[in-house]
Structures are given as structure tokens and as C-alpha cells.
Amino acid sequence: MQAQMQAIEAIIAFLKTKLDFSLNIDALPVSEGISIEIMPGSSGKPSLNLESQLRTIPLLFMSKYKQQTTAFENLLLIGNLLSKTKFSTVIFSSDVQILSAEVKTEASLVGKEGDYWIYSMIAEIKINF
């Protein structure tokens, strides 16, 4: 498995241990839930160490719930958790190091689909591998 996918799966596994709702790398669920999609990103700054690579991986979090406050607050929980965590102290894998996670866009309303409210948020994960 490639380092980028290892990092994303590590972030999701970390979030699942801290939160009591499901997260999926998939399209927005038909009913309630949160999806994570990988967005086009940048490679980060070049490293002087040719054996390591710095990458920035933007992740789009989409929240869909019948209760507007739940859709909004679940993304706030994820954003706050990512922002507060010192990933350099948490070892996920020997192949990839998660340097940081930063919320780039706060949770914001996308719209309403039937009875469901949809909110989105973008976070950037910086890794070294």
C-alpha cells in the first residue's frame, strides 16, 4: 500500500477511536453519515533528503444528517480533533509519518437534500515518507 493511502487510513482509524459515529472513504451515504473524499493536492515542498517525500493531502469531509446541528457539529468535532492532535507523537506506521493536520475550510452548509442537511469541511494532512 502506498504511503499516501496508509496515512489516510491511519487518520480515519485514529478518528474512529475518538468519535462515536462512522466515517467512510466513499461517496456521501444515502442516509446519515460522514464521507471522506481525497481531493487534488500538492506535493508539498521538496526535501533535501532524497529518500523522503513531503506531501500534503487535502481531504473533503461531507456530513449528512436529518438534524442540521448534528451535521454541523460532527464536522466541528472532527476539525477540532485534527487541529489539537500532535501527530508527531503518535506512530501510525514505519513507512509514513503524519506531520500535521490542519482545517483549511471550516464546516459550512452545502445545502439540503430532501430531509437531510449537508455540510462540508476541508482538512489538509501533511505527511513524510
Any idea what the CATH number is for the domain that residue 112 is in? 3.30.2000.30
Total of domains in the chain: 1
What is the predicted pLDDT for the residue at 127? 87
pLDDT in tens, 82-91: 999 888 666 5
pLDDT in tens, 93-116: 667 888 889 999 999 999 999 999
Asked if 42 and 64 count as a contact pair (C-beta separation under 8 A), the reply is: no
pLDDT at 15 over 80: yes
Burial class of residue 22 (count of CB atoms within 10 Å of its CB; 0-12, 13-18, 19+): exposed
Range of the domain at 105: 3-128
Full-model pTM: 0.85
Dist CA 28 CA 128 (whole Å): 29
pLDDT-above-70 percentage for the chain = 84
